[in-house]
Structure 1
Amino acid sequence: MRPFEYARAQSVAEAVGRPGKFLAGGTTLMDLMKLDVERPAHLTDITPLRENGELSQIVEDGGGVKIGALASMSQTAEHPLIAERYPALSQALLAGASQQIRNMASMGGNVMQRTRCPYFRDLAFKECNKRDPGSGCGAIGGHHRKMAILGGSDACIATHASDASVALVAYGAALTLRGPDGERRVKLEDFNLLPGETPHIEHDLREGELIVALTLPAPIAADGVYLKVRDRESYEFALSSCAAVLDVQEGKVNAAHVTLGGVGTRPWRSPEAEAALVGQPATRETFEAAARAALQHAHPLAQNAFKVPLTARVIVRALMQAAGQIDEAGNPTTGANA
């Protein structure tokens, strides 16, 4: 770890505008600093803002909910407003990391976490456009089994790591950002940027800006599902995941939000899948059509081509569960038209 200037901010006003990085839970940033991937010259500790409650509250916000950026993953997952109104978010948070990390990691930090691509995290690999722009993408010609099949470019195919962000995007979450020029709001769906030719520019956060809150609008339905498939049952990132929120009225899909994880360079909202669902009967055939629509623009490589059929099955199962046709174990529910 390289030397850096350390300061503690006692208020948001004291924090915004400062150069370098903000330290909250530190569960990602400190790892990357130890690996010499992140090299901030200045580090501002904002944990006092959690301790004084300034950015750690979860409260009603009109018809929705506002989550303070320093609320922990555990606090958010277990909060009644989240568990009851936004169950897919609660499920996604509980599916991520370990209990100890969830107790420390902040919601703002979670949406800011960087990829787990080994070519990015290991300096022994020289080709990584995220870490060293212009050096190339080692994954494209190397080991890419876990890499993205949606949203990639010739410069980068690294997947976005956050489970929570997948559910947050499905619920239409927005970030409140405060900086030297005041406050602005950005939809999380737009906050994370596609790699294109500039994969080192990952998000729409300006110098000196701080995430102060995540705002969820009223959900389109009371139920929601986050389904995650991974190589092992715990402490593992998704090979494929889906957050599905469905409003089914009289056997037809009235509204639908579908977002994928583990397969995109950012949390992957699928308007194609949603369009294939709305107005159609809530049947397996409709859900399979939605899965095909969601994956029509996938660009797999040799080692991650399995993600296409895998993700199709994940989407169908998540939609069936969100529609109340199967339970978490995949068993048909009583009277379900599965």
Structure 2
Amino acid sequence: MSQTVQAARIHAYGGPEVLQFEDVQLEAPGQGEVLVRNKVLGLNFVDVYYRRGTFPVAALPAILGNEAAGVVEAIGPGVTSVAVGDRVAYSDDINGSYATARLYAADRLVAIPAGVSDEQAATVLLKGLTARYLLKEMLPLKAGDTVLYHAAAGGVGQIVARWGKAMGLKVIGTVSSDAKAAAARAAGCSDVINYRTENFVERVMEITAGRGVRAVFDSVGRDTFKGSLQALAIRGMLVVFGKASGDLPNLNPFELAPKALQLAWPILPHYVATREQLAAAAADLFDAVARGMVDATPARVYPFEQLVQAHRDLEQRRTVGSAVLVL
């Protein structure tokens, strides 16, 4: 039986104002699907990319958002991995979470363990899984290694700083303001560089006694790309996973040769592609939360009705840490 749910949709790409609250029809769950009643929605910068059209949606109109925590309200044929009443979370790169309820593939849901709230799960799942593959899947980092993280006061950045410190890494962070510098230090960054007032390459070389860093994690893109390469140590890796400041400049691969550098642009879906990979990564993340290695407390909580304002704050970099929307 179908039902009417409220959703935030876009009919065209553009600014935050293109998000419109509308009633939409939701069908009963089909084979392998469940109906999830969303309770808390994650807010991520990738949502801005989809809203702007930087990343195209499959078709317009579209419901944005790809992360939430909620409860299973109904199950479709063939579903055995979850039951009605289970608390679950999801964070695949599949738009549609900006709604009071949605259909979702049962085998892509993560069980929320006891002791973890819906707010915590929606805050940490996507950002935490991203931080996890950066720290544990990209290159063999070991205690004592130094890494650089751009936009360290953001949601992923604070998780990387805290989790990295717990792993014995030295995490240098870059930020754009004194307030964000304080947040990055509180999260565990050993050194913080304000890139608006300091040359981050020069500061990295000062901090590392001229050696450079083992890895740079860069979601800023155009504005930091060339400097990130310069900040690397011999055989270092630049991991680009976003382009908040715009498309990257052209690069001749020969430019990597003098220091035998590596360049990667990973995306999360390839690191949680199977149910087994997703379950193992989520278990590792929630274990880190339980042990205090990752802080899953949202820095900002908005009512769902304030989604447009939340997007404005996100786009204008007024958010420090993670933000969620509650229904």
TM-score range normalised by the length of the shorter chain: under 0.3
Calculate the TM-score normalised by the size of structure 2: 0.26
Calculate the TM-score normalised by the size of structure 1: 0.26
More strand by share: 2
